[in-house]
Amino acid sequence: MYRLEEEHQGFAEGFFASVVSSDRIHAVIRSVYRSCAYFMDPYAAFSFAGLQDFRAKTGESKLTLLLADRSPVLFKDMICECCGVTDKELIDSVKK
pLDDT-derived band at 95 (thresholds 50, 70, 90) equals confident
Distance CA 24, CA 94 (A): 23
Q: Which burial class, exposed, middle or buried, applies to 35 when counting CB atoms under 10 A from its CB (0-12, 13-18, 19+)?
A: exposed
pLDDT-derived band at 12 (thresholds 50, 70, 90) equals low
pLDDT tens digits for range 17-68: 788 899 999 999 999 999 999 999 999 999 999 999 989 988 989 999 998 8
Is 2 a residue whose pLDDT tops 70? Answer: no
* Selection from 78, 86, 96, 65 nearest residue 26 by Cα: 78
Amino acid at site 62: K
The set of residues, in sequence order, having a beta carbon less than 8 Å from that of 30 and lying 6+ positions away, is 82, 83
